[in-house]
């Protein structure tokens, strides 16, 4: 028992697992097991219910053989249909004959008992033959893969309708199909002492800046964590400032978005078990771009982007401004609006800040309840909460109806942000603004804004400035930041990525539309 623990410790000791090797199989360091240790682990494995060891004998040669495997990791149908019948009915005497006999391509021969646990864990079936020291590993891993479905978070009306799934190979397949070039590199790392998660770093050689690639590779190989459940772990662990409420890596479930980011010269991180890819380096404006923008005419897309920008500012600022103006700056209210505000405020027994906090918290509760409940119940909660609670609280005189409209609009505006992580950030941001507005009015809002701006200016994404192109000012990069200009003006890659090849296509050729007889 003690020996077993020692050996497990030995396995999970990360230093023995070189993580940046492309081929995982060959990367596992051979470990020496003594005879009694082997028996020990076998004893341990038999405690698991899915550990199977079955005894057979060959009808022609009369040789006895055993098949050992984990039933949950092995596709038993393949075994029963393709492996077992030839083994029973075919003729073989040595383990080498097995390899010829079986219709399965991946059959490995080995005589080192140290490989056994790892190979079994990978979904191999071990075949031992009576009187032979050597044994064969027959590959028949079980593929439990969800089929590719339409994107749910980054839904688009037009454009491709496929989203990443949890299997990393499937995800890389989707990207490679869109970028069938040899320059697309997918480097694999193994991360996590227990989970041994496969992580892939994708980039296009000859376009992406080496510095970005090295930064990402270094951060991943330096990562210390026992298990990795999702790519969002990476956003938090490897991003430049883990204490910032702003996500510094863009996550997406769309292979098309990933492809276009790769073409821009960015780096993609794919994590096995996560249907989200991470894109880096990124900038603040990118979080307010939906990939659907590229499927629309550039005028429409620019308009929609500006609407989103406005809604972000509106969502953060509207309730703090309400608090500031109603509490301190009655002078700013136009005379025509005064009567609406005063009559609706008069019945409310609370100061403006409490009134606002009450409603803001209600909205957050509704959102959280809606998110935790199953979809169908969630919709009901939204309607019941929104309409019933809102109207009732106005009628009960707990809030003013002007504020109710503002809060509802602010909540609505916060949902226009296409990236979920960022829309959460935006909802949180208004609370410090509210407190400052309550304390110092508009001056407080200004101070809070200064703090926010300072924070944003200091943020970096994989070492690249987060506020780009606003600061540092890169006028040319505005072509695909706040605006989306037509494709013909996008002939250059973004300046701030410092790509090795800055030209995407020839602008001159793109502008020409030849006549049919030219």
Partner 1 sequence: MKKSHFIVAVLFCMTILSGCVDRKVIDDVNIATGIGIDKSGNQFLGSIMIPVFKPDKSFGNFTFVSKGNVIRDLVSEMQKKASQPIVSGSLDIALFGEDVAREGLIKTLDVFLRDPSVGARVQLAVVDGKAVDIFKGRYGDRGNSQYLTQLLEHNMNQQNLPITNLHRFLANFYKRGQDPYLPMLKKSNHNLVTITGLALFKDEKVVDILHENKMFYFKLLVDNHILGVVKVKEAHGESTVKSIGLKKKMRLIRRDPYTFSIKIKLKGDLTEHQERMLKEGEIRKVEKQLAKQIARECKMLIEDFQRKGIDPVGFGHFAKSRTRSFDFKKWNTEYKNAKFKVSADVHLIGHGVVE
Q: Which is nearer to partner 1, 207 or 437 (CB)?
A: 437
Can you say whether residue 156 is alpha, beta or left, with left for phi > 0 and alpha for psi between -120 and 50 degrees? beta
Span from 10-18, 42-50, 146-154, 323-331 in contact with partner 1 (CB under 8 A): 323-331
Closest contact distance (angstroms) between CB of 72 and partner 1 is 49
* Out of 60, 346, 476, 507, the residue judged to bind partner 1 by CB under 8 A: 346
- Cα–Cα distance measured from residue 25 to residue 169, given in angstroms and rounded to the nearest whole number: 16
Span from 78-86, 139-147, 341-349, 472-480 in contact with partner 1 (CB under 8 A): 341-349
Q: Which is nearer to partner 1, 229 or 332 (CB)?
A: 332
Rule CB under 8 A: say whether 339 interacts with partner 1: yes
Span from 89-97, 116-124, 266-274, 325-333 in contact with partner 1 (CB under 8 A): 325-333
Rule CB under 8 A: say whether 320 interacts with partner 1: no
- Cα–Cα distance measured from residue 465 to residue 462, given in angstroms and rounded to the nearest whole number: 9
* Out of 149, 340, 454, 506, the residue judged to bind partner 1 by CB under 8 A: 340
Rule CB under 8 A: say whether 396 interacts with partner 1: no
Question: What is the per-residue binding string for partner 1 in 437-456, x denoting contact by CB under 8 A?
Answer: --xxx-x-------------
Coil vs helix vs strand at 53: strand
CA of 57: how far to CAs of 93, 279, 374, 404, in Å? 11, 54, 53, 78
* Out of 16, 25, 297, 343, the residue judged to bind partner 1 by CB under 8 A: 343
Is 240 within 8 Å of 460 (Cβ atoms)? yes
Applying CB under 8 A, the site for partner 1 has a residue count of: 23
Is 211 within 8 Å of 463 (Cβ atoms)? yes
Closest contact distance (angstroms) between CB of 39 and partner 1 is 56
Closest contact distance (angstroms) between CB of 348 and partner 1 is 8
Nearest-CA neighbor of 286 among 271, 269, 264?
264
Span from 155-163, 278-286, 337-345, 386-394 in contact with partner 1 (CB under 8 A): 337-345
- Cα–Cα distance measured from residue 326 to residue 149, given in angstroms and rounded to the nearest whole number: 49
Rule CB under 8 A: say whether 241 interacts with partner 1: no
CA of 269: how far to CAs of 191, 205, 232, in Å? 12, 15, 11
- Cα–Cα distance measured from residue 122 to residue 48, given in angstroms and rounded to the nearest whole number: 16
Span from 151-159, 435-443, 477-485, 486-494 in contact with partner 1 (CB under 8 A): 435-443
- Report the helix count and the strand count for the chain, using DSSP H and E: 20, 12
Per the DSSP assignment, residues forming a β-bridge with 141 are 74
Closest contact distance (angstroms) between CB of 442 and partner 1 is 10
Rule CB under 8 A: say whether 327 interacts with partner 1: yes
Q: Which is nearer to partner 1, 328 or 478 (CB)?
A: 328
- Cα–Cα distance measured from residue 100 to residue 98, given in angstroms and rounded to the nearest whole number: 5
Is 270 within 8 Å of 199 (Cβ atoms)? yes
Rule CB under 8 A: say whether 335 interacts with partner 1: yes
* Out of 88, 338, 361, 453, the residue judged to bind partner 1 by CB under 8 A: 338
Rule CB under 8 A: say whether 397 interacts with partner 1: no
Q: Which is nearer to partner 1, 173 or 340 (CB)?
A: 340
| Segment holding 201, helix H or strand E | strand 197-204
Rule CB under 8 A: say whether 351 interacts with partner 1: yes
Q: Which is nearer to partner 1, 250 or 326 (CB)?
A: 326
Rule CB under 8 A: say whether 277 interacts with partner 1: no
Q: Which is nearer to partner 1, 96 or 338 (CB)?
A: 338
Alpha carbon 153 to chain centroid, angstroms: 11
Rule CB under 8 A: say whether 222 interacts with partner 1: no
Q: 3-state SS of 307-345?
A: HHHHHHHHHHHHHHHHHHHHHCCHHHCCHHHHHHHHHHH
- Cα–Cα distance measured from residue 32 to residue 175, given in angstroms and rounded to the nearest whole number: 40
Q: Helix, strand, coil proportions of the chain in percent (round to 5)?
A: 50, 15, 35
Rule CB under 8 A: say whether 352 interacts with partner 1: yes
Closest contact distance (angstroms) between CB of 339 and partner 1 is 5
Q: Which is nearer to partner 1, 110 or 460 (CB)?
A: 460
Rule CB under 8 A: say whether 491 interacts with partner 1: no
- Cα–Cα distance measured from residue 317 to residue 230, given in angstroms and rounded to the nearest whole number: 33
Nearest-CA neighbor of 390 among 402, 375, 374?
402
Q: Please list, in sequence order, all residues whose beta carbon lies within 8 angstroms of the beta carbon of residue 185, skipping any fewer than 6 positions away.
A: 202, 203, 204, 205
* Out of 95, 270, 326, 410, the residue judged to bind partner 1 by CB under 8 A: 326
Q: Which is nearer to partner 1, 46 or 343 (CB)?
A: 343
- Cα–Cα distance measured from residue 269 to residue 308, given in angstroms and rounded to the nearest whole number: 27
Closest contact distance (angstroms) between CB of 360 and partner 1 is 18
Closest contact distance (angstroms) between CB of 341 and partner 1 is 6
**Residues at the interface with partner 1 (CB under 8 A):** 325-328, 330-331, 333, 335-336, 338-343, 345-346, 351-352, 439-441, 443
């Amino acid at each position: 028992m003690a020996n077993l623990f020692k050996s497990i410790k030995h396995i999970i000791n990360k230093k023995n697992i070189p993580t940046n090797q492309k081929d995982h199989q060959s990367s596992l360091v051979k470990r020496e097991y003594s005879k009694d240790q082997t028996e020990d682990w076998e004893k341990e494995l038999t405690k698991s219910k899915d550990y199977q060891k079955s005894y057979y004998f060959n009808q022609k040669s009369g040789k006895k053989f055993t098949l050992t495997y984990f039933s949950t990791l092995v596709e038993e149908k393949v075994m029963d249909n393709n492996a077992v019948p030839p083994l029973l009915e075919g003729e073989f005497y040595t383990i080498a004959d097995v390899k010829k006999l079986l219709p399965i391509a991946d059959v490995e021969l080995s005589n080192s008992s140290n490989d056994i646990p790892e190979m079994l864990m990978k979904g191999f079936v071990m075949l031992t033959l009576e009187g032979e020291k050597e044994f064969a590993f027959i590959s028949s891993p079980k593929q439990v893969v969800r089929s590719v479905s339409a994107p749910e978070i980054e839904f688009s009306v037009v454009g491709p309708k496929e989203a990443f799934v949890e299997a990393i190979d499937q995800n890389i397949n989707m990207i490679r199909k869109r970028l069938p070039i040899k320059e697309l590199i997918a480097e694999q790392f193994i991360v996590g002492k227990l989970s041994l998660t496969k992580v892939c770093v994708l980039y296009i050689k000859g376009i992406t800046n080496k510095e970005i690639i090295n930064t990402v590779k270094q951060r991943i190989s330096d990562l210390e964590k026992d298990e990795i459940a999702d790519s969002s772990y990476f956003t938090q662990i490897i991003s430049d400032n883990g204490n910032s409420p702003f996500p510094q890596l863009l996550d997406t479930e769309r292979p098309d978005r990933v492809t276009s980011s790769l073409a821009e010269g960015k780096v993609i991180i794919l994590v096995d078990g996560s249907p989200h890819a991470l894109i880096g380096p990124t900038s603040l404006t990118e979080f307010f771009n939906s990939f659907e923008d590229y499927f629309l005419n550039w005028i429409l897309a620019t308009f929609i982007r500006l609407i989103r920008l406005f809604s972000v500012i509106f969502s953060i600022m509207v309730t703090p401004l309400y608090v500031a103006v109603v509490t301190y700056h009655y002078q700013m209210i136009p005379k025509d609006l005064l009567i609406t505000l005063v009559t609706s405020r008069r019945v409310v027994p609370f100061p403006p800040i409490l009134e606002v906090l009450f409603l803001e918290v209600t909205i957050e509760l509704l959102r959280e309840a809606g998110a935790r409940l199953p979809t169908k119940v969630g919709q009901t909660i939204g309607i019941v909460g929104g309409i019933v609670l809102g109207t009732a609280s106005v009628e009960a005189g707990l809030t003013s109806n002007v504020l109710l409209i503002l809060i509802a609009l602010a909540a609505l505006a916060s949902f226009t942000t296409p990236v979920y992580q960022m829309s959460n950030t935006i909802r949180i941001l208004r609370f410090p603004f509210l407190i400052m507005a309550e304390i110092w009015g508009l001056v407080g809002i200004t101070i809070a804004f200064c703090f926010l701006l300072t924070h944003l200016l200091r943020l970096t994404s994989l070492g690249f400035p987060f506020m780009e192109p606003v600061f540092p000012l890169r006028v040319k990069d505005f072509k695909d930041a706040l605006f989306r200009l037509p494709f013909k003006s996008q002939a250059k890659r973004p300046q701030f990525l410092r790509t090795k090849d800055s030209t995407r296509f020839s602008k001159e050729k793109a502008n020409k539309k030849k006549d049919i007889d030219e």
